[in-house]
Structures are given as structure tokens and as C-alpha cells.
Amino acid sequence: MKFSFLIVRLISIFTLLVSCLDEKAGKKYFGPETALISGRVVAVADGDTLTLIDRNKTEYRIRLAGIDTPEKSQPFGKRAKTELSQKVFGKTVNIKIIDIDRYKRLIGNVHLKNRWINREMIQQGWAWHYKKKSSF
């Protein structure tokens, strides 16, 4: 069981590295030296997904790591989106990237100054702790 998890993780990392081309090709490499992204939040899709633009005008779709929120059509889904928007929309955040999901979104921990937004969403009851995909 642990061996298969390790293999899946290694394949995921290898796929990430192989799929990311150099900057000349217009793509970014997310290796250990570039695992931190800073930028302004320009959109919030729902309670656990946002869009960020960095200082180079590169747009990133980010899924908050370790949490899950109701879909917009489910009870409290719109409220979860509103809460995340109130916390980060229009603000400059730092995101530590930890993975890429099957929808090609970056998965990361969102920090606003000394606040950890992922954890705040759970503590305030707007998100569930998604233990299967959690880094905390």
C-alpha cells in the first residue's frame, strides 16, 4: 500500500517536471526553487479555488490544499465562496505549491501576511479538512 502511494507520488512529480517546459516555450517550471508564487488574487471560483496573477502577468489557477468546500449549487457553497473572496480577493498572497491536480490546477497553501487561509477556512467552518490530500 505504501509502496504504491510512493510510486504514484513519484510518477506525479515526474509528470510535472516533464510537462513543464522552459520559459522560452511560455511555460513555468515548478521545481523546488520555484515552489512559491506571489501575486494578486483576481478571481475566486468557489470556496477552494482561486486565480492569481503574478508580477509577470502570468495567471495561475490554484486549488487550496487540504480542504474541500461545498459546490456552489450545494448548501453553503455560495457562502464558502463569499468567505474566501472576503479573505483574499484583490489582495497579494503567497502560495506554496505542493502538487498539481488532474484538472491542471496548482495545489497549494495560501498565506496572507501571517495568516494561513486554508486553515482559516476549516477553523471557521467553511471547509472540511480533506485528509486524503492534506499537508497538515
Smallest CA-to-CA distance from 39 within 20, 17, 63, 61 is with: 61
More confident residue, 34 or 116: 116
Residue 29 inside a domain? The answer is no
pTM here is 0.72
For the chain, the domain total comes to 1
Query: At residue 3, does pLDDT exceed 90?
Result: no
Q: Which of 40, 71, 79, 120 is catalytic?
A: 71
The answer to whether residue 76 sits within a structural domain is yes
The answer as to whether 8 is a domain residue is: no
Note whether residue 21 is domain-resident.
Answer: no
Question: Quick check: is 79 catalytic?
Answer: no
Of 112, 46, 54, nearest in space to 84 by CA: 46
Q: What is the CATH number of the domain that holds 79?
A: 2.40.50.90
The tens digit of pLDDT for each residue in 71-119 reads 888 989 999 999 999 999 999 999 999 999 998 899 999 999 999 999 9
- Domain span at residue 61 reads 35-133
At residue 35, the pLDDT reads: 84
93 in a structural domain: yes
* Bridge-based pairing state of the strands 59-64 and 106-112: parallel
Active site residue 105: yes
Beta strand 115-116 pairing with 67-68: unpaired
The answer to whether 85 touches 44, Cβ cutoff 8 Å, is yes
Q: Is 23 a catalytic residue?
A: no
Among candidate residues 63, 83, 115, 120, the one labeled active-site is 63
Q: What is the pLDDT of residues 39-48, one digit of tens each?
A: 999 999 999 9
Give how far Cα 63 sits from Cα of 1, 6, 44, 106, Å. Answer: 26, 22, 10, 6
Q: What is the pLDDT of residue 23?
A: 39
Distance CA 60, CA 54 (A): 8
Q: Evaluate whether residue 1 is within a structural domain.
A: no
| Mean pLDDT (whole number) for 60-80 | 93
Residue 3 lies in a domain: no
